[in-house]
Chain A
Amino acid sequence: MSYLDNKTPIPGTIMFDGHMARVGYGLNKMCYSLNAQSARDEFARDEMAYCDKFCLTKGQKKAIEDRDINGLLEQGGNIYFLAKFAGCLGLNMQDIGALQTGVTLEEFKEKLVTAGQ
């Protein structure tokens, strides 16, 4: 039996499994393309037109527009590829951490420091 057969959710965590990989394929492919500067430039010129090239759903496009990282994760976004989208916005992993958990950057950093004590 696969460990993925255990359907009890892990709080605050989406398992990026085959289902999510299918749902998020276009979104992640778009984000993967952002490894290239030329793609980042094209994305910046017209974000929604660029999303259409990869057949993002309406919901995924809305989440891109809203910089809604949790929304993207729920719609099949994979964090490693979303990191490339975040990079386009000048955000690093700590900025993203704060966004996803609904706290300020300083509060997020403080939480990490507390974990070490």
Chain B
Amino acid sequence: MANIIGGIGSSHIPAIGMAIARKLQQTPYWKSFFDGYAPIHDWLAREKPDVAIIFYNDHGLEFFLDKKPTFAIGAAAQYNSYDEGWGIDTIPPVIGNEDMSWHICNELVEDEFDITICQELGIDHGLTVPLQLMWPENSYGHMQVIPVVINCEQHPMPSPKRCFNLGRAIGKAVKSYQKDLKVVVFGTGGLSHQLDGRRAGHINKEFDLMCLDKIVNQPEELLNYSIRDMTELAGSQGVEFNMWLGMRGTLVDQVKQLHRNYHIPISNTGAGTLLLENSL
């Protein structure tokens, strides 16, 4: 039986990928952010997961506005990253698990989550940056990845509650997968930030810290926010917290926080890092 051993929340902002490419991890600006990943590296080395389910959003690499799925899941043997137009490096191919992806998709549709199933899916910084953060020097070659994409680019967007429930359904689907696999789930993006308009640079530290507190063992208290609330409080891109809620939904009710870090600013963002251990 497949088991989810834990969940990880992480930023995925492009500037991190740029910093990795330029080996800036130990420079004053970046040090405390990158050092926040050491306990996660130790945990991953100890627990040795086989599969990473990664919630992220596609920032205009795979999906244009001609067809914009609310939820999409990768079901490919391999995923490639491509030129995003502004200079971030591509990373070596990422290995998938088609059989497990299809199992999850079958279960989700049965559970009335009508996802878009993707046998080809170009992956952008939303997925590649977290992989590079968790497995430095691109040492993720042993991992099988299942991408889960949530629309954060065009309104209407799914509610926090819906994303949490999607996570629940994915968690249930993983448990009914018959192969013996250890699974880790990533919620990527956020926390508060706004890239666009006259309010660009909006960050809400107090709200971010509250979200980091509540998501551990009171996530239901975060589920009544609307996307409009999230936009007002956390900025246009603060809605990326939906991916964290998806991750949290896959875990059991009471989890153990093993590590947490919060750093402002990374680029325009309040950057959170969180490691949650799941009870089997």
Contact = CB atoms under 8 A, between A and B. Distances in A.
A101 B200 CA distance: 7
B22 to A, nearest CB: 13
A35 B84 contact: yes
A96 B161 CA distance: 32
A3 B227 contact: yes
The main secondary structure of chain A at its interface with chain B is helix
B83 A35 contact: yes
A40 B87 CA distance: 12
A87 B85 CA distance: 6
**Chain B at the A interface: mostly helix, strand, loop or mixed?**
loop
Interface residues of A, number: 50
A7 B228 CA distance: 11
A84 B83 CA distance: 10
Contact of B201 (A37, A88, A112): A112
Nearest to A108: B201
B228 A111 contact: no
Contacts of B31: none
A111 to B, nearest CB: 5
Contacts of A31: 60
B65 to A, nearest CB: 6
Given A35-B83, A84-B85, A78 B201 contact: no
A46 to B, nearest CB: 18
A92 B174 CA distance: 39
B72 to A, nearest CB: 16
A104 interface: no
B228 A100 contact: no
Contacts of A18: 155
A74 B59 CA distance: 20
B155 A101 contact: no
B154 A83 contact: no
B67 to A, nearest CB: 12
A80 B232 contact: no
A24 to B, nearest CB: 8
A63 interface: no
Given A70-B198, A88-B86, A115-B205, 10 more contacts: A4-B228, A10-B232, A12-B197, A35-B85, A80-B59, A80-B60, A80-B153, A97-B200, A112-B201, A116-B263
Interface of A: 2-4, 6, 10-18, 21, 25, 28-29, 31-32, 34-37, 40, 70, 73, 78-84, 86-88, 92-94, 96-97, 100-101, 108-109, 111-113, 115-116
24 contacts: A4-B156, A6-B228, A10-B232, A13-B199, A15-B231, A16-B154, A17-B156, A18-B155, A29-B65, A29-B66, A32-B60, A35-B82, A70-B197, A73-B196, A78-B60, A78-B153, A83-B195, A92-B15, A100-B198, A112-B203, A115-B201, A115-B203, A115-B264, A116-B203
